Amino acid sequence: MLTVGVDIGGTKIAAGIVDEDGTILERTRWETDPEDLARIDGSIVAAITELRAGFQVGAVGVAAAGFVSPRRDSVMFAPNIAWRDYPLRDRIAESVDLPIVVENDANAAGWAEFRFGAGRDVEHMVMVTIGTGVGGAIIVDGHLLRGAYGVAAEIGHLKMVPNGHYCGCGHEGCWERYASGQALTLAARHRVTTDPEGGRAMQRIAGEGHRIKGPHVARAAMEGDPTALEIFGDLGRWIGMGCASLAAVLDPELIVIGGGVAEAGELFLDAAREGFVDHLSARGHRPEARIELAVLGNDAGIIGAGDLARL
Amino acid sequence: MLTVGVDIGGTKIAAGIVDEDGTILERTRWETDPEDLARIDGSIVAAITELRAGFQVGAVGVAAAGFVSPRRDSVMFAPNIAWRDYPLRDRIAESVDLPIVVENDANAAGWAEFRFGAGRDVEHMVMVTIGTGVGGAIIVDGHLLRGAYGVAAEIGHLKMVPNGHYCGCGHEGCWERYASGQALTLAARHRVTTDPEGGRAMQRIAGEGHRIKGPHVARAAMEGDPTALEIFGDLGRWIGMGCASLAAVLDPELIVIGGGVAEAGELFLDAAREGFVDHLSARGHRPEARIELAVLGNDAGIIGAGDLARL
Amino acid sequence: MLTVGVDIGGTKIAAGIVDEDGTILERTRWETDPEDLARIDGSIVAAITELRAGFQVGAVGVAAAGFVSPRRDSVMFAPNIAWRDYPLRDRIAESVDLPIVVENDANAAGWAEFRFGAGRDVEHMVMVTIGTGVGGAIIVDGHLLRGAYGVAAEIGHLKMVPNGHYCGCGHEGCWERYASGQALTLAARHRVTTDPEGGRAMQRIAGEGHRIKGPHVARAAMEGDPTALEIFGDLGRWIGMGCASLAAVLDPELIVIGGGVAEAGELFLDAAREGFVDHLSARGHRPEARIELAVLGNDAGIIGAGDLARL
Amino acid sequence: MLTVGVDIGGTKIAAGIVDEDGTILERTRWETDPEDLARIDGSIVAAITELRAGFQVGAVGVAAAGFVSPRRDSVMFAPNIAWRDYPLRDRIAESVDLPIVVENDANAAGWAEFRFGAGRDVEHMVMVTIGTGVGGAIIVDGHLLRGAYGVAAEIGHLKMVPNGHYCGCGHEGCWERYASGQALTLAARHRVTTDPEGGRAMQRIAGEGHRIKGPHVARAAMEGDPTALEIFGDLGRWIGMGCASLAAVLDPELIVIGGGVAEAGELFLDAAREGFVDHLSARGHRPEARIELAVLGNDAGIIGAGDLARL
C-alpha cells in the first residue's frame, strides 16, 4: 500500500508518496503561514490531492511539531503554530476520504530511521533530534512509545543542570539548553565576549558586526579553528551525557542523532560517544548502546508520517 | 493458574503462592548467604518445593536484585550477591520441573503495583523504588519495559547534578545520591555537623555518640522536629524533580513511589508532588501524571515475580 | 574640610557638599548623556562649580560605575558609559583647581556606609550592592581594598553555578545572575510561564500583557502573594550563599546589603541570613558576621566620593 | 634580628632560626602527638630552647593549622589537633622569655612566599595551598589579611558547586572538594570504577588490590598515562576556576600555588592558567593576575612564622 506522508513546518508543507520500503516516489511542497490555520488545512489538502492524482493511495500520515493526542487526531499544543486542541485530522478529513493519522514530527522522523534508516536492524532505539532545540522519539520492542497522553520523548527537557540556563519552557537547566543548535550558537557568542582572540575566526566568518550563528561555528570548525572545535566538543559531551541518562532509563541498543545540527555530526560524534561512556552507569556490566548519525536527513518526517499511517 | 513468586534478598529468600488476583495464599522464608551461590540455589529450590507441597503450581518467577538477561534466564551482574553471568534459571531447573523466569526485583515490584496495586487502573506507569538507593520499573502500554539488554529502568542513575555527589556506580550526581534513603541519612549527618542546634532532636533519637540513620530522621520528623521535616522536604523535592525528567521521557499516567523509604511517604509526598510540577515541562499544555504511594509494601516482589511467571 | 562628592549615573549627575560627618550640606543634579563624554565632563565641572559658589571646598571625589585605575585618575572601562582608558581626573582638572580623585561607585557607596552608615562601628566590612547586577566594596582593617589594578570587589562575578545562567560578562553562573534585581525579574517572568496560576498576582500588578519588573514582584510580595514571597525568599538565599563565600575569604564582621533592591530588604533579609548560616563553613568554631541593610540609600555615592577625596 | 619559626604538624614539629632575608640558618625537628596538648607545648619549648642555644634570637613565631585569634595568642579551633580556645602563646611564654606570636600555618606559608619567594616583587598576592584540602593566605597592599576574627582566607570553602560533593566542613560543593589532593585521589579511584581500562596504569602503580593515592596518579601522569593526565587537567581547571572567583573579589597581581600537591605543579599549572582565564570576568578590560608555583616548599611555614614574629 502506498501512503501520503505530510511534514508540516512553520512556513512550508512538504509531502510525498511513500512506498512500503520507505522510498519517496513523488514529492510536493506548499507555502503556508503559521498564523493562518485554515490556510494550513487547505495547503495540506492541496498537497494530498496533488499527490493522489498519480498514485493509488491507501492512507495519509501528517507530522506536526506539537503535542499530538494519543488518539492521533488532534494537536493539543504547538510551539510555533497557533494550534490549541485543534482537530487537525477531522479538518483534513472533510476534504480527503482516506484514513488519516496525525503524528508528532520527531516521532515520525524517529520512526523513519527505525524502519528504514540507521535503526532498521534494531528493536530498541532512541532518536535524538538536534535542531534549534532537542526533540526525540523512542522505540521500545519495535513500537513507538507515545506515552499516556501522547507527549512522551520530550527528551530535550531532561533536567541536566539545577539552576542552569533558562529554557523556553520556563524551567532551568533542560538538556536542550546545552545540547542544541541554539546552545551551540550561544556558546560561540559568549566565547567571543570572553575570548575575542579565540573567537576571531568565527566572527570573521559571520562577518564583523554580525551575530554568529551555528553554521558559522561549523564552518570555522571544519577549517580547523580550535575554538570552534572546542565548542563542538562541548556540545558533543553534553549530548553524550544526556544519552547516558536516556540509556539508564530505556536501555536502547542504538541511539540515533538526527536533526539539522547532525549534518555537522562528524564535528561532535566522537565527543558524544566519549561523553556517553564517561557517564554511562554500570559500564562494564552491560552491553553499551551504539551512537550513530541519522541517514535519512530531511526526508525522515515524510517517510515516517507515511509509514505510521499504515499501522 | 497458581504460581510461586520468589524474592531473593541479601540474607533471606521470601517466597509465596500467588494466585491470579495477586493474592499470596501461602508464604515461606529461608535464610541464605550472599557469598554462597550454591546455597542460594538450594534455598530457592527448597522454598519452591515446600510451597508446591500444598498447591497446584504452574510456573515459578524469581526476582533478584541485579541485571537480568533479556531472555530472563541469567543474572549478568548483581551489586550485593556474587552473581556474574550466572545461569540462575537453569540451576533451579535442575531440581524444579516447572517453567521458570528470572526478573529484576524492582521490575517485579513495579509489575505487582501495576497489576494489583496503585497502578491497577492505568496502562502507563513508572515505579520509583526508594530504598538505600533508587530503582524502578517502567510500564508502557501495559507491558514491562525491559530494554534491549534487560537493564532498562535503572532510573537511580539519571544524571541530576553535574559534578555532584559521588555515586556507588563511580559517577557523580546520580539521582539516587539525592533521592534515596542513603541521601536522607547523609543529609541528616551533615546537618548535625553544620547546625548542631538544629540537629539535636535527630541526634537524641539516634542516641548521643551514635550515627543518625534514616529511621531516626523519620521519627524526629513525625514528632514535628523542623530540621527533620526540612530534610524530608528536600528529599521529596529531589524525588519530584527526577520524576519530572521521567515524565519528559515517558509521559506516564501514574508515578508510584515504593520501597522502604516510602513507608515514611507522608513525610515527603507533598514535597515530591510540588517538586514534580515545579519542574514539569509544558505544564498547562499536557495532562499531568499523578504521584501516589505504593500499596503492596514488601509483598510486591513476591507478587510481581509470581505474576510475571504467567506471561 | 568640606569636599564635593559627585556620583555619575548613566543619564544624570548628582553631586553634593559633604562635611566631615558625612552630611550633605547642599545638593545639585545635572542631566547628561552616556554617549557624550565631553558633555559628561562639562556637567561634572558645572556641578562642582555650582556647589563651590557657596562653600569653602578642599577636594573633589568623583564616583563612576567602571574600572578605575589604582592611581584613581582614569576610568579603564565602563559598562554603561563610553569611557575606555579615559583620563577623567585630568579632564576635570582642566577646569577645577582642586585635588580630585576618581573612585568606583560601589566602592564609594561602601565607604560611605563604613564611615557613616551601617558599618560605622566596625573595621572589617563587606558591602554587597544589589541593583540590576551585584557590585560591592570591601573594607579591610579600616582601609578600602582596591586590589592590584583597582578592580577588586567585583563580587557579582563570583562563580556560583557551573554551567549556570549566562552573565553579561560572557561567563556562566556568576553570583549576580542569581542575587540581583535582574535575577528577581527573570525568576518572576519564568514563573509566570511555568505556573500561570501562581504568577497571577504579579501579572495583574504589572498589567496584563506587560512584562513583570522587579517593583511588581515587590508590590505583590508586600501584599502577601505567596509566589512573590517565594521568589524573594529564593533571592535572599542566593544572596546569603554568596555572602558565605565572601566570609570564607574575607572574614568580615559585618556584611551590608545596599543598592536599589535593598529598598525591599525586609522581603529577603531573613532568607539571606538563613542562607548565610546554612552555607557558612566552620560554623560554631568562629564568630559569625552580621548581615544588615544599608542605611544611607542613594546618598551613599555622593557621601563616599566626598569622603574618599579627603584621604 | 633573628627569630625562631615553628611549624606544628600533626605528628612533628619543625623549627628553625630565620634571618631577615628569610634564610633558615639552623633547623630542628621534634616528634609529637596530636592528642597530647601538654606534649606539644613541651616539644615547642624544647625546639625553641635548642635553637636559641647557638643564636641571638629576638622573637618567636608559631604556625599552627587552625583558627588563630586576631590577637595572635590562642588557637580557637584546630581540625587535626585537640586545641579548642587554647592559649598557646601563654603556655609557651611560661617557659620562653621572648615575644611570641601564633599564626595560622597557611598564612605563615603565604607570608613567606610574599616576602622571600614567588611573591617577593608584588604587593597584592593570594597564596593557594593545595594539600589534602585547600587553604590560603591573602596579602593586600603588603599586609596579611587576617579578617575580623582571624579566620580570613579559608578559601577552600568557597562555594563552587551547589549540591556538590560533601565537604568535611559539613557543606556541599566547597572548592577543596574539587581542587585538592583528596579530590585528585577520589577522582582517580572513581575513574577506575567507571573505566577500568583507562585506570589500569594508575592501579598498576598503586599495586593491584591497593587503593590509589595522589602520588600514584602523579607518577602515572609523569609516565604519560592519558587518564592520569586528564585527571590532573581537571584538577587544574578547578583550581583555575576558583582562582577566577578570588580574582573577582581580591584583584591580586599574583596567585601562588603551593602545598604538597604543588610539587606536581607542572602537571596542572597550564590547565589552572587556562581555567583561570576561561572564567575571569572582565577579561580584556583589566590586567590579569599571574599564576605561579610556590618556590619555598616545606620551609615556607618556618620562614613565614619566623618573619611574622618581627612585625
Report yes or no: C129 and C109 within 8 Å, Cβ to Cβ. yes
Whether the per-residue pLDDT at B267 is higher than 90: the answer is yes
Mean pLDDT to the nearest integer, C189-197: 94
Average pLDDT, rounded, for chain A = 96
Give me the pLDDT at residue C224, please.
98
In A, minimum Cα distance to D163 occurs at A162
C149 has pLDDT over 90: yes
Instruction: Out of D166, D171, D193, name the one closest to residue B165 (CB).
Output: D166
Tens of pLDDT, residue by residue over A39-72, are: 999 999 999 999 999 999 999 999 999 999 999 9
D253 alpha-carbon distance from chain centroid: 19
pLDDT of residue A311: 81
Lookup: cell for C213: 519588573
Contacting residues for C3 by C-beta, under 8 A, at least 6 apart:
C17, C18, C57, C58, C59, C60, C61, C306, C307, C309, C310
pLDDT at B241 over 80: yes
The CATH classification number of C2-111+299-308 equals 3.30.420.40
Is the confidence at residue C101, as pLDDT, over 90? yes
| pLDDT tens sequence across B86-143 | 999 999 999 999 999 999 999 999 999 999 999 999 999 999 999 999 999 999 999 9
What are the helix (H) ranges across D117-195?
Answer: 176-179, 181-194
Give pLDDT, residue D301: 97
DSSP secondary structure, A259-280, as one string: SGGGGGGGGTHHHHHHHHHHH-
- Across the A:C interface, residue pairs with CB atoms under 8 Å apart total 45
Give residue B247's pLDDT band: very low, low, confident or very high (50, 70, 90). very high
Q: What is the ipTM of this complex?
A: 0.95
Q: What is the pLDDT of residue D9?
A: 84
Q: Are B232 and B268 in contact (CB under 8 A)?
A: yes
What confidence score (pLDDT) does residue C9 get? Answer: 84
Closest residue in A to C190 (Cα) is: A170
pLDDT of C10 higher than 80:
no
Is 90 exceeded by the pLDDT of residue B75? yes
Q: Closest residue of A to C170, CA-based? A: A190
Q: Does domain A122-294 have CATH number 3.40.190.10?
A: no
Which residue of D163, D194, D278 is in closest CB contact with A162? Answer: D163
Spell out the domain ranges in chain B: 2-111+299-308, 122-295
* D24 contact C CB<8A: no
D278 touches chain A (CB under 8 A): yes
Are the Cβ atoms of B165 and D164 closer than 8 angstroms? yes
pLDDT, one tens digit per residue, over A104-120 is 999 999 999 999 999 99
Q: How confident is the model at residue A282 (pLDDT cuts 50, 70, 90)?
A: confident
Q: What is the pLDDT of residue A32?
A: 86
pLDDT tier, C11 (very low <50, low <70, confident <90, very high otherwise):
confident
Distances (CA, A) of A250 to A124, A178, B155, C251, D119: 8, 21, 9, 49, 55
Quick one: pLDDT at residue C284? 84
D52/B contact by beta carbon, under 8 A: no
How far apart are the C-alpha atoms of A129 and A93, rounded to whole Å? Answer: 30
In whole angstroms, what is the distance from residue C221 CA to residue C229 CA?
Answer: 5
- Non-local (6+) Cβ contacts of B238 within 8 A are B160, B175, B178, B179, B183, B275
HSE-up of residue C73 (Cα within 13 Å, Cβ side): 6
Q: What is the pTM of this model?
A: 0.95
* pLDDT on residue C136: 96
Predicted local confidence at residue B47, as pLDDT: 97
Q: How is domain B122-295 classified at the architecture level of CATH? A: 2-Layer Sandwich (3.30)
Residue D134: name the closest of D116, D110, D111, D162 by CA: D110
> Over the stretch C278-289, which tens digit does the pLDDT of each residue have?
999 988 888 999
% of chain A residues with pLDDT over 90: 93
Residue of chain C with shortest Cα separation from A192 = C170
Question: At A138, which amino acid appears?
Answer: I
pLDDT of residue C264: 96
- Alpha-carbon distance of A127 to A294, in angstroms, equals 8
Distance from CA of B242 to the nearest CA of A (A): 8
Ranges in chain D, pLDDT < 70: none
Give the mutation candidate from C157, C160, C166, C169 for the A interface (greatest A CB count, under 10 A). C166
